[in-house]
Structures are given as structure tokens and as C-alpha cells.
């Protein structure tokens, strides 16, 4: 039995805690059964954006005809894109590997490990324990039970980045942000993409107006089929056949493809760790239950990141790593603040969002105002000939506090970020924006216009109808 001051499980955002612990001369065991860097570096945020950037540029070239520029993409070099992706991932991963290897005081366990008793883990042939344990071991793709799927084979986000050549036809099962981002990438590179989603809406977690626009725009580059249930996957001489039917009960349809990509949600890795063996309680869907301090049901054990099933973004996990550090090793406890969690969807068009949706604001009893502004209400938006993109903001009617903001269109993730800052300072209202000069003409005016158009939601909805 080897004793440590702290065990850190997971080398994504968990590495933030491990590094700080080592800088404070604590003995640390780092447990990781996958490549260093976790999901974000190896099979998520970073490699996907290297793939998506050329896809977005290709779309922008196609759309340039709207402003009088007639151009065409001569060739899409998947090999070059794939090479750049792998170089970046491997460079960062090797940097982490060298850092871990150079620290002789760090106990590194790159293997399948699991709890076997109170604060005790089995790591290969060795057992380790510590009075403090940090769990940040992430999630994995939730593979649905579909007859014939295992026999026909499929890809997930854990494997799709390893493909060496593009398929001619691809079925993406699922209708969330991964489906839209991968659909954008593959279709831009000439793949015939079909997205088959179970929900009646594409991107159902976004605002309805954004979801509807994304369905319209994605339908221009891929075959989008929503409200569908996959009932069988069959092998065919020249590929695979996905059999699906509308959930309302209409006749079933078939589509033949070369490859299938599952983007059907995720499940917690808590079961792989056998966390209940150390007394850690789980929620009803298998995610680790934590309180406002990210404490589990066992004193001395904290959990954060995707494995707790809340806001599954790397930037959120980085923030949660700070909360855990202060609560595990600081003198003052810090509460988790989730009122202004931002996210982006790097599809085409792009989405940037923070805070509550309108439905959430209504459900929580807020009296609120809504503000809309289309991109082409500004000179810059008109110059871009962008007739579809828009910003929507939600403001508390009594305090003018920003409750949420949702933008769809070019640079949406950049446009929403200043609102994240406003939501984390002072009274959290939009008045500093109203008092500020805004560069003219710039897309920033779209956000300013949205706040300038605040109205009672009932008036807006009546006008829309």
C-alpha cells in the first residue's frame, strides 16, 4: 500500500489540481487510463477545431457570392488538415508526458484503476490511498442498444479523429452539438452527410429560434432527419444500412452509408472507477453527486468536470478545478457559481451562449425583458449580406441584470464573451454596455442593438406570430 497526500483521477482539468498540489510539495498520485490531456486535448475541443476551421473557410468562400465575390474552393486537403491536427495534439500531449516523467516525486498510474475500499484504489498490481481524493475522470459515449449496431461497427468521438480517409457517405446518429460540428466538417470536405436525431429539434438545448435557424442552415449542407428512432443497423455489400422511423409512428426508412458516427450523448465514467466502493453516492443517471462546494458524499473526496454531469465544457472544468483546490487545500470554502456558464457550438453558423434560456427564466419565476437584433440591422452585418444571424438577450425586468444571451452567426463566441464578463461583475446588469462607446461599424453593434430593443416577451411573441 502506497500512501499519498492526494490522489487525482483524470489528467484533463484534473491536471490543474495535480500541478498545483505538486508545486506545494504535496505527494500526488495521478491516475489516468487514457492519453494525457483528457477529452479536450485528445478527442474533443482542440482536434475538432483544427478540423472545423478549414470547413468554415470553405463555407465562407461559397457564401461570398452574396457580396459580389465569385470564387470556388479548388481542393480540400484532408491529409494536410489531419496532419496539422495530429501535430498539435501530439505536441501538447508529449509536453505533458515529459512534465510527468520529469517529476520523480509524482506517482503516475497510466492504467485502468478503480476503488476497492475507503479512499483506496487498485492500480494494476499496486494499491494506493490518500486522505484527499479528486475525481475528474470524465465521460464516454453512451452507446444505445440498436440491433445490428455492434456487428456493423461504428465510430464515436473517441475514435473518429483516427480515421485515415474520408468516407463517401456518413450517417451521424444524434442531433446535438457534436452532430452539427462533425456534420459541418465532413460535408464541407465532400462527404454526403445524413444527421438522424431522436429529438424533434436540432440542438434542442438552444433557444428555439436558434434551433430552427440551425435546422434550416444545416439542411443546406446535409440531410437532416429529426424526431427519428433508429430501429436497426444492417450490413450491406457496399456499406451499412441504418433503418429508422419517425417517432410519431410513420413508415420506416433506410439509408445506406459507408460509416456511422454515434453522437448519442455521454455517460459518466463513475462506474468504471467503482466509486461506490469508497462510499461516493451517485445521482439517478450515474453521475457523481456533489454539493455546492463540489464535495461528494464522502468527506475528503471531491468531484468535478464532466463526471458530475452538469456543465460539460473544458472551461467550466478549469473553473471547477479552482473551486476544488480552494475547498480541498484553502482556508476558506468557495461555493460553485453557475449563473454565467458560457458555451459555443462551432458549426455553420456558429453559436455563442451564456446563462439562462428564455424558458429557464420563465420557469424560475423571473419577470424579464427580451431583446432581439439581426446582424443586418448593423452596417457591418449588412456589408456581410447576413440576413439570418441574430442576437437574443434576456434581462431581469426589475434589476436590469443580464440573465442570458444567445447569438447565432459569424463570431458568435467572440460577441457573447463580453457579456460573460458583465455577468460576473458589479450588479451584473447591462448598463456599462449602454454607457460605453461601441466601435462603428462593427458586429459589436448587434449586441448593443439587442439590449436597445428590450421589450416585454408577450409583445415580442405576439409580433412574431
* Phi (first) and psi of residue 225, to 5 degrees: -125, 110
- HSE-CB of 55 using CA atoms within 13 angstroms: 25
Q: Do domains 2-140+267-329 and 349-464 have the same CATH topology?
A: no
The torsion region of residue 174 among left (phi > 0), alpha (psi -120 to 50) and beta comes to left
Where exactly are the structural domains of the chain? 2-140+267-329, 149-264, 349-464
| Confidence category of residue 461, pLDDT binned at 50, 70, 90 | low
Q: Which fold has domain 349-464?
A: Enolase-like; domain 1 (3.30.390)
CA separation for the pair 249, 103 (Å, rounded):
60
Closest residue by Cα to residue 130 from 352, 278, 296: 278
Q: Is 292 strand, coil or helix?
A: coil
Gap between the Cα atoms of 328 and 23, Å rounded: 15
The pLDDT value given to residue 422: 98
Average pLDDT, the chain: 96
SS3 297: coil
Q: CB neighbours of 108 closer than 8 A, spacing ≥ 6?
A: 29, 30, 32, 100, 101
Domain 2-140+267-329 coded CATH 3.40.50.10860: no
pLDDT of res. 168: 97
| CATH code of domain 149-264 | 3.50.50.60
Share of the chain above pLDDT 90, in %: 95
- Between CA 434 and CA 247 the distance in angstroms is 47
List Cβ neighbours of 337 (8 Å cut-off, separation of 6 or more).
none
pLDDT at 460: 65
Report residue 465's pLDDT band, with 50, 70 and 90 as the boundaries. very low
d(CA 411, CA 357): 20
pLDDT in tens, 20-35: 999 999 999 999 999 9
Amino acid at each position: 500500500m502506497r500512501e499519498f497526500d492526494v490522489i487525482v483521477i483524470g489528467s484533463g482539468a484534473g491536471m490543474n489540481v495535480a500541478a498545483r498540489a505538486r508545486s506545494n510539495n504535496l505527494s500526488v498520485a495521478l491516475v489516468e487510463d487514457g492519453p494525457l490531456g483528457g477529452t479536450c486535448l485528445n478527442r474533443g475541443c482542440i482536434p475538432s477545431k483544427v478540423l472545423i476551421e478549414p470547413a468554415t473557410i470553405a463555407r465562407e468562400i461559397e457564401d461570398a457570392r452574396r457580396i459580389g465575390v465569385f470564387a470556388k474552393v479548388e481542393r480540400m486537403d484532408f491529409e494536410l488538415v489531419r496532419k496539422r491536427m495530429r501535430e498539435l495534439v501530439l505536441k501538447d500531449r508529449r509536453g505533458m508526458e515529459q512534465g510527468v516523467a520529469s517529476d520523480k516525486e509524482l506517482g503516475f498510474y497510466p492504467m485502468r484503476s478503480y476503488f476497492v475500499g475507503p479512499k483506496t484504489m487498485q492500480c494494476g498490481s499496486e494499491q494506493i490511498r490518500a486522505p484527499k481524493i479528486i475525481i475528474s475522470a470524465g465521460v464516454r459515449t453512451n452507446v444505445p442498444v440498436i440491433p445490428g449496431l455492434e456487428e456493423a461497427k461504428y465510430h464515436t468521438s473517441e475514435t473518429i479523429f483516427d480515421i485515415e480517409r474520408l468516407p463517401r457517405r456518413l450517417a451521424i446518429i444524434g442531433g446535438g452539438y457534436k452532430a452539427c460540428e462533425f456534420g459541418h466538417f465532413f460535408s464541407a470536405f465532400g462527404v454526403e452527410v445524413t444527421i438522424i436525431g431522436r429529438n424533434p429539434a436540432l440542438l434542442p438545448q438552444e433557444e428555439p429560434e436558434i434551433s430552427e435557424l440551425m435546422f434550416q442552415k444545416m439542411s443546406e449542407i446535409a440531410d437532416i432527419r429529426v424526431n427519428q428512432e433508429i430501429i436497426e443497423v444492417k450490413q450491406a455489400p457496399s456499406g451499412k444500412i441504418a433503418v429508422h422511423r419517425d417517432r410519431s409512428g410513420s413508415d420506416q426508412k433506410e439509408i445506406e452509408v459507408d460509416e456511422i458516427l454515434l453522437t448519442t450523448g455521454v455517460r459518466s465514467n463513475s462506474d468504471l472507477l467503482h466509486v461506490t466502493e469508497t462510499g461516493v453516492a451517485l445521482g439517478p443517471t450515474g453521475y457523481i453527486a456533489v454539493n455546492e462546494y463540489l464535495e461528494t458524499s464522502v468527506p475528503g473526496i471531491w468531484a468535478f468536470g464532466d463526471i458530475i454531469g452538469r456543465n460539460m465544457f473544458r472551461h467550466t472544468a478549469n473553473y471547477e478545478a479552482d473551486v476544488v483546490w480552494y475547498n480541498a487545500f484553502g482556508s476558506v470554502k468557495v461555493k460553485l457559481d453557475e449563473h454565467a456558464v458560457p458555451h459555443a457550438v462551432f458549426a455553420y453558423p456558429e453559436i455563442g451562449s451564456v446563462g439562462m434560456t428564455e424558458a429557464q427564466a420563465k420557469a424560475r419565476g423571473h419577470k424579464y425583458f427580451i431583446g432581439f437584433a439581426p446582424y443586418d440591422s448593423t452596417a457591418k452585418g449588412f456589408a456581410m449580406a447576413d440576413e439570418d444571424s441574430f442576437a437574443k438577450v434576456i434581462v431581469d425586468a426589475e434589476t436590469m441584470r443580464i440573465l442570458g444571451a444567445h447569438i447565432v452567426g459569424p463570431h458568435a463566441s467572440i460577441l457573447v464573451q463580453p457579456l460573460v464578463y458583465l455577468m460576473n461583475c458589479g450588479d451584473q446588469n447591462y448598463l456599462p454596455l449602454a454607457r460605453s462607446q461601441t466601435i462603428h461599424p462593427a458586429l459589436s453593434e448587434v449586441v448593443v442593438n439587442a439590449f436597445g430593443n428590450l421589450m416585454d416577451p408577450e409583445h415580442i411573441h405576439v409580433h412574431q406570430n
